[in-house]
Amino acid sequence: MSHKRKNLLDELNKLAPSEAEKLINQYAKSKNKSVPKSLVITYTHDIEKHLDTVTVSCPYCQSTNIIKKGKIQHGLQRYQCKSCCKKFTKLTNTILEKSPWPWNVWTKVLCEMLHFSSVDLIMNTLINEHYVVEITRPTVLMMVQKLRELFVYVPKPELHGVIQMDEMFFHESQKGIDNPTDVLKSGKRRKGRRRSEPSKYGTMGNEFGTVLCAVDEVGHAIAKHVCMGHIELDDIYLNIHPYLKMLHLSVQI
Ligand SMILES: [Zn+2]
């Protein structure tokens, strides 16, 4: 191996896998070539590192009585549950399980979302900063939507001190669906609405979902779909009170 090449390899080894991956993406793009498949091994090692601190439990029955059961393709550890006998990895039932995009691409999309970047901006950032060689807008939009769905499971913060609240209205429509369901009572049916009629009460009408947002002094925020149409004081109390770190509740409108 030439001296130059050895130096290059030494430098490459000093990089974090995600940084090395970006460099290879940049090289592949400059040569107009696709990224070698063997690079997926780097991705997987990177994921294993991130998942080091995750306690392993069975994603099917939540049992912690598990054993290691070899490795799957690209070196990801596989486990078997001794209770239900099912096999799984740390990525089973996660968005990364069948995703062709590695950990650092997902985290970059998430990071951009938290900075309120548009889908187009996220797509351009991923390409220009060499996270990927190429990616389409619909793919980025799909990733954004999948991550948004997961936000529901993020534990909500406790609100302290003076809390400010405001509401926002969204038109709730299940156009084309034969049996519309009540969005606040999952599984329960709701009556269909007449079309081509203007809303009688505007955004206070029952066809508008009301989302309440509460922000405290340090910026912790909670947003909840609390009711349809006009919001009552009870809706505020029932939905926000569980997150308040205070003894008394006084409301100023
Ligand atoms: Zn199990």
Q: How far is the CA of 7 from the centre of ligand 1 (A)?
A: 48
Q: How much distance in Å is there from the Cα of 88 to the middle of ligand 1? A: 9
3-class SS of residue 181: strand
Q: What's the CA angle centered on 8, arms 6 and 9, to 5 degrees?
A: 65
Ligand 1 centre and the CA of 102: distance in Å? 26
pTM: 0.66
Max distance between CA atoms of the chain, in angstroms, equals: 79
How far does residue 66's CA lie from ligand 1's centre (Å)?
8
DSSP H or E run through 160: none
Q: Is residue 72 within 8 Å of residue 41, measured between CB atoms?
A: no
Distance 60 CA to ligand 1 centre (A): 5
The kind and range of the H/E element at 252 are none
Is 169 a residue whose pLDDT tops 60?
Answer: yes
Q: 225 pairs with which residues across the strands?
A: 211
Structure confidence by residue, pLDDT tens digits, 62-120: 999 999 998 887 677 899 999 999 999 888 888 888 888 888 889 899 999 999 999 99
Can you tell me the distance from the alpha carbon of 243 to that of 158, in angstroms, rounded to the nearest whole number? 5
Q: What is the CA(82)–ligand 1 centre distance, in A?
A: 7
The burial class, CB within 10 Å (0-12 / 13-18 / 19+), for 41 is middle
How far apart are the CA of 251 and the centre of ligand 1, in A? 47
Centre of ligand 1 from the C-alpha of residue 57, in Å: 8
Find the 106 Cα to ligand 1 centroid distance in Å.
Answer: 27
Terminal alpha carbon distance of the chain: 75
Query: Is the per-residue pLDDT at 136 higher than 60?
Result: yes
* CA distance readout (Å), 75 to 78, 89, 121: 9, 11, 33
Could you tell me what percent of the chain has a pLDDT over 70?
88
pLDDT in the model for residue 44: 57
Q: Tell me the CA–centroid distance for residue 139 and ligand 1, in Å.
A: 32
On whether the CB atoms of residues 207 and 193 are closer than 8 A, the answer is yes
